[in-house]
Amino acid sequence: MKMARFVTAGLLSTLVLTPARAATSFDDMLKSVGNSRAKEYVQPLADVATLLAGGGAYHSARSKGVAGFDLGVKLLLIPVSSGDPATGTILDQTDVSPIGLPMLVANKGLIKGIQVGARYMSLELDVGQFSMLGASLRFELNELFHVPLLMPRIGVQGDWNQLKIGESLTNTTTGVDLIVSKSFIFLEPYAGISLLKGSTDLEYTYTSDGEVTVTGHVNTSLDSDATRLAAGVNITPFPLLCINAEYALSDYSTMTVGVLLSLF
């Protein structure tokens, strides 16, 4: 399947310059890049990191009640490319295959439409340790005005996320979400728009061998701004059990599926 800019390299095994380096750690790849191409090489990855940080941040506009909570696992499905050996780029228009990243999610209702949430992911991959930690705070606007049965749920949410790859890359992203959802017995479709702002810090030491051996230290920051559009549905086949599916559209797109224990 050819995919132009639908390639979300996913911060993992897409980090290759050639197929022969597929098992090389991300930290070692950066060292081989050196200094001159560091920003050019990592900027697409920084953009993807910012978008990925918003994945799975919500699945409804409704805030849980004081006794309510969500607890479960979501799987971020990331289309992955092995890169283009001819140009040495991370993201390109090559064949892709999906990789699933499991993420623990939890949401807890507080008072008067306020809800807090948390997300966590930690994986040991061929390219090194990959981890993500996220937190959110939501207010359901229906607390201010609501028409029973007719009016959909509307929520405004703020997010903070930190994503790390190895010892060299740390992405910190903040975002604001506007979410709308409507319940129909066993189904709850929803849609949302997210404005994301990310900062990706790179820090590593490199040694290049050429006519002259050069050793140096790179410490730089890359900025990324993104708008993420998401649409999904929750299915409740049994009480307390919620099955979630979502597709998010942006420059790089992702899909999410999940199973959650949901109360009140």
pLDDT reported for residue 139: 98
| Domains of the chain: total | 1
Q: Is residue 13 part of a domain?
A: no
Can you give the CATH number for the domain in which 235 is found?
A: 2.40.128
Whole-number percent of the chain with pLDDT over 70: 78
Token pair of 77 as six digits = 């499905």
In a domain, 12, yes or no: no
> Measured in whole angstroms, how far is the alpha carbon of residue 187 from the centre of its chain?
25
**Per-residue confidence (pLDDT) for residue 16, from 0 to 100:** 33
Global confidence as pTM: 0.82
d(CA 198, CA 224): 5
**% of the chain residues with pLDDT over 90:** 50
Residue 144's DSSP bridge partners are none
- Residue 179's domain comprises 19-263
194 occurs within a structural domain:
yes
Q: Do 171 and 46 form a contact (C-beta atoms < 8 A)?
A: yes
Measured distance CA(212)–CA(41) in Å, rounded: 23
**Is 9 inside any structural domain?**
no
| Predicted local distance difference test score (pLDDT) of residue 98 | 62
* In-domain check, residue 6: no
Contacts of 255-259 with C-beta under 8 Å, sequence gap 24+, read 255/76, 255/77, 255/98, 256/55, 256/56, 256/74, 256/75, 256/76, 256/77, 256/232, 257/74, 257/75, 257/77, 258/56, 258/59, 258/72, 258/73, 258/74, 258/75, 258/105, 259/72, 259/73
**Least confident among 13-22, 47-56, 96-105, 186-195:** 13-22
Which range among 14-28, 77-91, 115-129, 184-198 has the greatest average pLDDT?
184-198
Q: Is residue 187 part of a domain?
A: yes
Check pLDDT > 50 for residue 18: no
Checking if the pLDDT of 6 tops 60, the result is no
pLDDT band at 167 (very low <50, low <70, confident <90, very high): confident
Q: Is residue 11 part of a domain?
A: no
The number of C-alpha atoms within 13 Å of 169 and in the hemisphere containing its C-beta is 36
> What residue type is assigned to position 172 of the chain?
T
Q: What is the pLDDT of residue 155?
A: 97
Ramachandran region of residue 45, left (φ > 0), alpha (ψ -120 to 50) or beta?
A: alpha
Q: How far is the C-alpha of 252 from the C-alpha of 86, rounded, in Å?
A: 22
* Residue 70 is assigned to a structural domain of this protein: yes
The pair of structure tokens assigned to 44 is 């697409």
- Please give the C-alpha separations between residue 31 and each of 24, 82, 125, 176, 208, in angstroms, as whole numbers: 11, 19, 18, 35, 8
| Digit-coded pLDDT (tens) for 227-244 | 999 999 999 999 999 999
Contact 252, 48 (CB under 8 A): yes
Query: Is residue 75 over pLDDT 80?
Result: yes
